[in-house]
Amino acid sequence: MDLVTTGTDTEAGAIPSADDDALAIEIQPEQRAKRPRRENPARFILPPVVLGAALIGVWYLISYGLLSARRRFLLRPPHQVVQNAFLDGEVMKEILLATWSSTKVAFFGLVIAAVLGLLLAVLMSQTKLAERAMFPYLVVLQSVPILAIVPLIGFWFGFGRTSRIVVCVIIAFFPLVVNTLFGLQSAERGMHDLFTLHHASRFTRLRKLMLPAALPAIFAGLRISAGLSVIGAIVGDFFFGQGEPGIGQRLRTYSNRLQGEELLAAVIVSAGLGVAVFLFFTWLQNRVIGKWYSGAGGTGV
């Protein structure tokens, strides 16, 4: 097939063949189909792996470079933590059972905080008077150090699981209320005017406009409060020793016995629990609102 056309052929009105047209279309860059760009998994996996390796290197540096042999119990090197804690079946069984106990406490506390927080935020969004009356006390509740009211919680609710759940509720309550209230108030003014034009009731406006607009903020509050509920479960278990032992009691026991490997293993497992809870609510947010909310995957998780 001759790709060179002379001026005589053009002037004579020669009709190009179908093969020439196909080749011309093929070589046009703007006609090529745009394929979706695939993200390289290494971009998400490599940075935390490199940072984790650097942190382990710093850990070794502190254990062997800055601490003498007599003081090395303050920070055992990583391989000793793995050998004497994570690879010890009895120790890991003890830590995992305690973690499961704290997980149940954190779950119940988060559920109670979510229900109360959503109801209170809805009430505050419906009337400015309720918002002005309640918001200062919510700030006060958030500002009071939880350790200052732990004795009162113990006096009122005992020193078992109930008090641990109360601590979780107090810690996880404020972010849920604030984020939900912000989301409910973030619906577009033009949409409010449209609902007013159609004489929509308060309940219809709340159900069809304000709650859908608030979903991203609600899930942001849930992710924050979920991590705080884990902290509340550990703090409550640390001070309330009655009932089924949780991870907080294990931390206190290992600390009193100067069991450095077990203590570090319990801390790592506790951190893993918080990360798992955060990832779960990130996945749930993407499943619920990821299809229509462009910022659902903005965390990069």
27-31, 65-69, 141-145: the lowest-pLDDT one: 27-31
Average pLDDT over residues 74-82: 86
Average pLDDT over residues 224-234: 90
Average pLDDT over residues 192-206: 79
Average pLDDT over residues 154-162: 87
pLDDT confidence bin for 34, thresholds 50/70/90: low
CA atoms within 13 A on the CB side of 214: 24
Average pLDDT over residues 163-182: 91
pLDDT (0 to 100) of residue 194 = 78
Domains of the chain with bracketed CATH: 73-289 (1.10.3720.10)
pLDDT (0 to 100) of residue 293 = 58
Q: Which residues are CB-contacts of 242 (< 8 A; sequence separation ≥ 6)? A: 158, 159, 160
27-41, 198-212, 238-252, 280-294: the lowest-pLDDT one: 27-41
pLDDT (0 to 100) of residue 301 = 37
Q: Residue 125 to residues 130, 134, 154: CA-CA distances in angstroms? A: 8, 12, 34
Average pLDDT over residues 176-184: 90
Of residues 297 and 79, the one with the higher pLDDT is 79
86-90, 96-100, 142-146, range with greatest mean pLDDT: 96-100
Residue found by looking up tokens 């979706």 in the block: 36
pLDDT (0 to 100) of residue 111 = 93
Q: Which residues are CB-contacts of 175 (< 8 A; sequence separation ≥ 6)? A: 221, 224, 225, 228
The SS3 call for residue 127 is: coil
Cβ-contact 221, 214 below 8 angstroms? no
pLDDT (0 to 100) of residue 107 = 92
Which element (helix H / strand E) includes 165?
helix 161-184
Q: Which residues are CB-contacts of 52 (< 8 A; sequence separation ≥ 6)? A: none
Distance CA 263, CA 283 (A): 30
Q: Is the pLDDT of residue 29 over 80?
A: no
Q: Is the pLDDT of residue 128 over 90?
A: no
Average pLDDT over residues 133-148: 86
107-116, 222-231, 253-262: the lowest-pLDDT one: 253-262
Supply the mean pLDDT for the chain: 80
Q: Tell me the per-residue pLDDT of 264-288, one tens digit each, with 9 for 90 and over.
A: 899 999 988 988 988 898 888 888 8
Whole-prediction pTM = 0.75
